[in-house]
């Protein structure tokens, strides 16, 4: 069984040993970390946290756009660690998560990439 170390930077650098195959939300909650969550399938963004070091596999998430991913956000209910990682958790990690789309619209490269997107044929 492969395990990795998770450090939670904004919880006094508390560390936890987690299984590589298990979603981070599940592993951390099982060890007493109080984390918000909703859908548990990667769709609602409630469980977002900020990854500041290391890598995760979160290909099953559908909640984040490219801007949020590039800012370091991960969806803990589906993300699995691929190395030792450092996270910031909870609402105090959400400073760059939300942005008013009317005041500051996303650029095309910041939108969610779609593997099934067809070329625009125009009107």
In the complex, which residues of this chain contact ligand FES (CB under 6 A)?
Answer: 37-40, 42-47, 63, 75, 77
The DSSP symbol for 123 reads: -
Q: Please, which residue, 11 or 40, has the CB nearer to ligand FES? A: 40
Q: Please, which residue, 37 or 122, has the CB nearer to ligand FES? A: 37
Residue 26, CA distances (Å) to 15, 78, 98, 101, 105 in order: 15, 9, 24, 32, 34
- Give min distance, CB of 109 to ligand FES, in A: 23
- Give min distance, CB of 59 to ligand FES, in A: 14
As given in the structure block, the two tokens for residue 13 are 């650098």
Q: Please, which residue, 56 or 118, has the CB nearer to ligand FES? A: 56
Q: Any alpha helices (H) in the chain, and if so which ranges?
A: 24-30, 66-70
Asked whether the beta carbons of 72 and 50 are under 8 A apart, the reply is yes
- Give min distance, CB of 54 to ligand FES, in A: 19
């Amino acid at each position: 069984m492969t395990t990795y170390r998770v450090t939670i930077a904004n919880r006094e650098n508390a560390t936890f040993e987690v299984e590589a195959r298990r979603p981070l939300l599940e592993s951390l909650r099982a060890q007493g970390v109080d984390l918000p969550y909703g859908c548990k399938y990667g769709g609602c963004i409630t469980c977002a946290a900020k990854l500041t070091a290391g890598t995760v596999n979160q290909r099953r998430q559908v909640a984040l756009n490219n801007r949020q991913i590039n800012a370091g956000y991960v969806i803990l209910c589906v993300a699995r660690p691929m190395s030792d990682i450092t996270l910031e958790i909870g609402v105090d990690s959400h400073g760059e998560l939300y942005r008013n789309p009317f005041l500051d619209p996303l650029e095309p490269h910041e939108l969610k990439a779609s593997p099934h997107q067809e070329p625009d044929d125009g009107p």
